[in-house]
């Protein structure tokens, strides 16, 4: 039985969310009206997973989350508004340790929440399986304090002990790094991308499962932290070294060759792919225009198997792939599937992946 604590100041939202999960046989549900009550139930109810509203009286969701991650870390799914402010708050929550988030219905709540029922249940079940460690949370807090907003010098990518990636042969045609991730991905992306220097020689394309509007906030936040330029892909763009392109939420990123240049575009979500932005579709489009030996695929934390089969094709064709290790992944679904398929050239904790890329492309 999964113990779920629903924290929301709206009686209607508490009633609707509670109804959804009590109807499932594997949930034991309690509710809290604000952050103060949530912290009390954190220690009395001992939830396995929490849904946490952002805007509440007495103690808001961000402050409550911060206390949860210090006092008794457990998986948290934030409930945030579909606004610029809500997206920025969501990025803050993910940095503080939230596993995932779900946009709050912005229309007729009782009607929209029913349509969101399968997604809500899937997100909470996935989050309940996530690993949240107090030690890693505290390490991230120390790193965040020492980093400072807008800092332009980044930590040097360190050499990697254990995991290795075969060097990529020099070529006149630059290659691509393709990254796929889902639940837990924003924090994993921060660790990966802040470890890369401004001189990194290949463009990086990222498919992070996320709703529309939130990928722009993710790109903006990462751009402030990284030596590389980070941008959400919103129009057909010639890909260039020194830039990381984040696929737009609820769309897919595809690559085409126009003359001698590679162009990345946002394409409507393809129903043949269940997750969006789709890592499988991104990788397969890249395989159509770039030799596999000029590709490096990186598959990080996330539920499901998106990207695994396509990245296995990179390795089979002579390219290189990295799967995040179970040790560091919040959810070892996607990278675990790549390993099961025999498609991982190497397996490494997330904090070693940047060093592997730098060494392979040196």
Active-site residue list: 182, 209, 306
Residue 110 CB coordination number (10 Å): 12
Q: Cα–Cα distance between 46 and 91 in angstroms, integer? A: 26
Pick from 228, 169, 165: which is nearest to 194 by CA?
228
Contact 155, 263 (CB under 8 A): no
Distance CA 225, CA 229 (A): 9
CA distance 62 to 92: 8
In contact, 32 and 50? CB cutoff 8 Å: no
Measured in degrees and rounded to the nearest 5, phi and psi for residue 240 equal: -135, 150
Task: With residue 317 as reference, give the H or E element that holds it.
Answer: none
Q: Give the dihedral sign, CA 242/248/249/255.
A: negative
Residues facing residue 299 across a β-bridge:
180, 323
> Is the CB of residue 228 less than 8 Å from the CB of residue 193?
yes
Radius of gyration of the chain (CA): 20
What's the first-to-final CA gap in the chain, in angstroms? 50
With contact defined as beta carbons under 8 Å apart, do 41 and 3 qualify?
A: no
| Distance from C-alpha of 307 to C-alpha of 19, rounded to nearest angstrom | 34
Token pair, residue 68, equals 């949860």
Contact by Cβ (8 Å): 47, 41: yes
Q: Of 11, 15, 3, which Cα lies nearest the Cα of 34?
A: 11
H/E stretch holding 318 reads: none
């Amino acid at each position: 039985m999964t113990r779920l604590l629903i924290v929301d100041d709206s009686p209607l939202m508490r009633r609707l969310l509670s109804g959804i999960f009590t109807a499932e046989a594997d949930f034991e549900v309690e509710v809290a009206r604000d952050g103060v009550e949530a912290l009390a139930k954190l220690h009395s109810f001992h939830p396995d997973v929490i849904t946490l509203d952002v805007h509440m009286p007495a103690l808001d969701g961000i402050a409550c989350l911060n206390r949860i991650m210090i006092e008794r870390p457990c998986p948290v799914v934030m409930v945030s508004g579909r606004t610029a402010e809500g997206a920025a708050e969501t990025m803050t929550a993910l940095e503080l340790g939230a596993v995932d988030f779900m946009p709050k219905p912005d229309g007729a709540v009782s009607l929209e929440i029913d349509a969101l029922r399968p997604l809500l249940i899937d997100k909470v079940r996935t989050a309940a399986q996530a690993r949240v460690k107090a030690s890693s949370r505290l390490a991230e807090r120390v790193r965040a304090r020492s980093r400072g907003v807008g800092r332009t010098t980044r930590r040097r990518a360190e050499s990697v002990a254990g995991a290795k990636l075969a060097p990529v042969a020099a070529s006149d045609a630059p290659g691509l790094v393709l990254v796929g991730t889902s639940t837990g991905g924003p924090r994993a992306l921060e660790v990966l991308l802040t470890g890369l220097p401004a001189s990194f020689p290949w463009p990086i394309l990222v498919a992070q499962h996320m709703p529309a509007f939130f990928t722009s906030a993710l790109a903006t936040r990462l751009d402030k932290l990284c030596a590389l330029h980070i941008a959400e892909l919103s129009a057909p763009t010639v890909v260039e070294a020194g830039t990381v392109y984040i696929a737009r939420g609820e769309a897919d990123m595809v690559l085409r060759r126009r003359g001698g240049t590679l162009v990345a575009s946002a394409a409507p979500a393809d129903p043949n792919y269940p997750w969006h932005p789709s890592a499988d579709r991104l990788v397969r489009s890249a395989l159509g225009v770039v030799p596999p030996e000029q590709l490096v695929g990186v598959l990080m934390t996330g539920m499901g198997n998106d990207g695994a089969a396509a990245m296995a094709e990179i390795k089979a064709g002579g390219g290189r792939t990295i799967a995040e290790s179970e040790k560091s992944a919040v959810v070892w679904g996607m990278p675990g599937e790549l390993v099961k398929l025999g498609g991982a050239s190497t397996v490494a904790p997330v904090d070693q992946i940047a060093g592997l890329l730098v060494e392979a492309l040196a």
